[in-house]
Amino acid sequence: MLAPRFFDQVRRPALEAETLPAACYSDPAFFETEKKEIFHKVWNFIGHDDQVKAPGDYMAFELVGIPVIVARGRDGKVRAFANTCRHRGCRVITGSGNSRAFKCGYHGWVYGLDGKLQGAPQMEHSHGFDKADYGLFPIRLEQWGRFMYVNFRADAPLLATQLGALVGTLASYNFDDMVLVRRREVEVGCNWKIYLENVMEPYHTPHVHATTLAMKNEDEGATIMSGNSNLLFGEGGDNAPVKLEFGENHACLVGRHVGSRGLLPGEEPLPPIKSLAGRPRDGSIWSYTYPCTTISCQREGMWYVEIQPLAVDRSKLVLGTCFPKETTERPDFEDKVQGYYRRLDITTAEDLVITEEQQAGVSSPFARAGRVCHLEAVAHAFRNWVADKVQPAA
């Protein structure tokens, strides 16, 4: 049980507040509370539907320890199920591929792509046994464009409710038309919040990305990536280089700049997304959808980082890069997209090193909550979201 007033200092206004207590990043008991109060209740991002493109395509994975199957049926519909056999609970399948059905390796019960139990050897001798009663438990799955989310609760509100105003803010990127061109997994030895807080703030950019992201702004003046303290961060209304937007379950950095933030200096950009309208035409929108997905939209395309919590001090990152279908069909696409991969991989590698250093330090008995810089306003909002989930304000 968390002490009463555990988050009082986190809940103060950003410039008076403290960061989360160190135990939130290192205590296995706090991680168990997060699973129960956050991940078992909210819509969790699980990727792009190109991962199960054709009827019969499936993928099995674990989400905060819960085995899940996602499969595309013969009818073209994507469904999710608990990957737990209805006979004696064995995990039914592992990995991904294409199949007509799923057969449990223990006693051979067979489930269709729709989760229905199709075969149960010898069970005709069991009294009153009806296959119709023993399909895989369905898990709710909804999509935002081509992005898939699952929710373990039958009574949770719709995905659109959780996403809120963000759907409108990002509408002109036209997620329905985005193709997944690369998906890469990498493990990192840090708590999921440590990685997310890192990507939420440009304060670390001049130090951690000194020779990469921080290099690019010389001809452009202060921008979101510079980390300069003279940055009009959150001030100046619509004309600020960076505007902050906060929603109930998300935050955005809306950046105005020339050039591409998806590339390192000297790389040639792909053409802009044709449907862009309003603020997305002027720069980039970095959005953070709680609990743990970042969706970084550039003029030309976008990437996401799915931060999957594995343990209190270990996470899996899934980096997904997407471009409009028309862009991917250009003859120069394969060549130019390499620049986007390079930028993402190099800066991710830099962030991996520093976030593992933070995990090591924050796990010490000497670790204490720290203070908040104005460039960390989004991370502060996120910490308050976590606090409200695990200990609703009195």
| Residue ranges that bind ligand FES, judged by CB under 6 A | 85, 87-88, 90, 104, 106-109
Dihedral, 245, 252, 14, 380 alpha carbons, nearest 10 = 140
Nearer to Fe ion, 35 or 342 (CB): 342
17 touches, from Fe ion, ligand FES, none (C-beta below 5 to 8 Å by class)? none
User: Is the distance from CB of 203 to CB of 351 less than 8 angstroms?
Assistant: no
User: Is the distance from CB of 242 to CB of 254 less than 8 angstroms?
Assistant: yes
Nearer to Fe ion, 142 or 351 (CB): 351
Site for Fe ion in 334-353 (CB under 5 A): 351
Position of tokens 């809120």? Answer: 164
Residue 105 beta carbon to ligand FES: minimum distance, rounded to whole angstroms: 7
85 touches, from ligand FES, Fe ion, none (C-beta below 5 to 8 Å by class)? ligand FES
Residue 353 beta carbon to Fe ion: minimum distance, rounded to whole angstroms: 10
Nearer to ligand FES, 87 or 140 (CB): 87
Q: Determine the 3-state secondary structure of 351 from DSSP.
A: helix
Angstrom distance (rounded) from CA 224 to CA 227: 7
103 touches, from Fe ion, ligand FES, none (C-beta below 5 to 8 Å by class)? none
Q: How far is CA 266 from CA 52, 213, 225, 269, in A?
A: 36, 12, 16, 9
Q: Which residues have a Cβ under 8 Å from the Cβ of 134 and sit 6 or more positions away?
A: 86, 87, 109, 117, 120
Nearer to ligand FES, 101 or 232 (CB): 101
Question: Which two structure tokens, joined as six digits, stand for 230?
Answer: 């003279």
Binding residues for Fe ion, total number by CB under 5 A: 1
Residue 202 beta carbon to Fe ion: minimum distance, rounded to whole angstroms: 8
351 touches, from ligand FES, Fe ion, none (C-beta below 5 to 8 Å by class)? Fe ion
Question: Which two structure tokens, joined as six digits, stand for 345?
Answer: 């991989």
Nearer to Fe ion, 351 or 376 (CB): 351
Please report, as ranges, the residues that interact with Fe ion according to CB under 5 A. Answer: 351
